Amino acid sequence: MALVRERRLPHLNLTVELPVPAAADCRLRFPVSPQRCSTSYAATDDAEFRLSEFEKLRVLGHGNGGTVYEVRHRVTAAVYALKVVHTDTADAFLRRQVYREVDILRRAAGSDRVVRFHGMAPTPSGDVALLLEHMDGGSLDALLRRRGYRPFPEPALAAVARQALLGLADLHSRQIVHRDIKPANLLINATGEVKIADFGVGKVLRRSLDPCDSYVGTCAYMSPERFDSESYGGDYDPYAADVWSLGLAVLELHRGHFPLLPKGARLDWAALMVVICFGEAARAVPEGAASSEFRGFLDCCLQKESRKRWSVAELLGHPFVAADYRAESEKALQDLLHEEMDEP
């Protein structure tokens, strides 16, 4: 990921310009309603407040961009996630990147399947902090780790896939592509809701895509056409690329490790390019290790030629995620989650 970002930084054609708040004014935009954990108000219903109104409880995660903390509002006791993105004030790219993430989060407000955004502020040290809905089950990547890398059962995977597809449907209908779908960017809460997070490399499509821009994203989850667009579908279709990444993320949760390489293998750029472009991701599930519905679903997501891949809308009608089994699959996901969350 770092490699990809470094390689592409000079070529990014960023279109979102938001004003940079004055460093002295460390105020966040804050929801007036003091409810815990966020799901009941729109991200636009916010008022201003100060960072000092929060206490940090613990670190929730680290990423390339910064650190995410669990924080509690000192008066209301409402709990949020605070993503502190390290922005070097001298580096306009980093600052624009964070404002782009904020712009996307605001555009996605109202989607039940995208992590809610409540406000942003500069920190006293010159970083930028984003106040987000706290997803108390963490990322699916961390959930897999907590399970000792035991694969998720199929019904639970169906619930993950269906909810992530609903999130992508909301994004794609707003002309937003995520470009970094992976288990670490799919978060879950205690009720078993799965939401899409981390729009650090997302993009609002305003015109045809700059081909230089198509490499952004974690390369392990990048589709073949992002390495070689001519061989795998011609024009780069960023919506289809999100579908590939989702298929691979679901497959990883099924296998318990990155599915295109042997367990424990180092993920370097060259090895990834070879397995993604010349391997057969859709056949990474051994015969007999999955139902025909699940295999069919993976096949639709992981077509190497982007034109043959199903769209998000088509996938939502696939029997693997069909509404008939919705209650059963959501219960399976909740059971799996509570097995891990209830452990001492």
* Contact in structure between 53 and 74 (CB atoms under 8 Å): yes
Token couple for 153: 């059962």
151 binds Mg ion (CB under 5 A): no
β-strand partners of 70:
58, 81
Query: Contact positions toward ligand ATP, by CB under 6 A?
Result: 1, 60-61, 63-66, 68, 81, 83, 115, 132-135, 138-139, 142, 184-185, 187, 197-198, 200
247 interacts with, out of ligand ATP, Mg ion, none, CB within 5 to 8 A per kind: none
Of the pair 133, 237, the CB lying nearest ligand ATP is at 133
4-to-38, 66, 262, 271, 320 alpha-carbon distances in Å:
34, 17, 23, 15, 33
Per the annotation, the verdict on 180 as an active-site residue is yes
| Backbone φ and ψ of 256, nearest 5° | 90, 0
Q: How far is the CB of 282 from ligand ATP (least distance, A)?
A: 25
Question: Closest approach of Cβ 298 to ligand ATP, in Å?
Answer: 23
Residue 83 binding target from ligand ATP, Mg ion, none, CB below 5 to 8 Å by type: ligand ATP
Nearest distance in Å: CB 325, ligand ATP: 28
Stretch that binds Mg ion, among 56-64, 104-112, 117-125, 164-172 (CB under 5 A): 56-64
* Separation between Cα atoms, residue 117 and residue 295, nearest integer Å: 35
Which CB atom, from 241 or from 298, has the smaller least distance to Mg ion?
241
Residue 97 within binding range of Mg ion, rule CB under 5 A: no
Beta strands in the chain (DSSP E): 27-31, 46-50, 54-62, 66-73, 79-85, 117-122, 128-133, 138-139, 176-177, 186-188, 194-196, 203-204
Q: Does residue 198 bind Mg ion (CB under 5 A)?
A: yes
From 46, 103, 170, 180, the catalytic residue: 180
Q: Is 32 helix (H, G, I), strand (E, B) or coil?
A: coil
With respect to ligand ATP, which residue has the nearer C-beta, 108 or 187?
Answer: 187
SS3 string, 159-194, reads: HHHHHHHHHHHHHHHCCEECCCCCHHHEEECCCCCE
Among 38, 87, 111, 185, binds Mg ion (CB under 5 A): 185
The secondary structure element, H or E, covering residue 249 is helix 238-255
| Partner in contact with 66, chosen from ligand ATP, Mg ion, none, beta carbon below 5 to 8 Å by kind | ligand ATP
Residue 157: CB minimum distance to ligand ATP, A: 19
* Residue 82 · residue 132 · CB < 8 Å: yes
> Applying CB under 5 A, which of residues 63, 153, 256, 319 lies at the interface with Mg ion?
63
Residues tagged active-site? 180
Binding site for Mg ion (CB under 5 A): 63, 185, 198
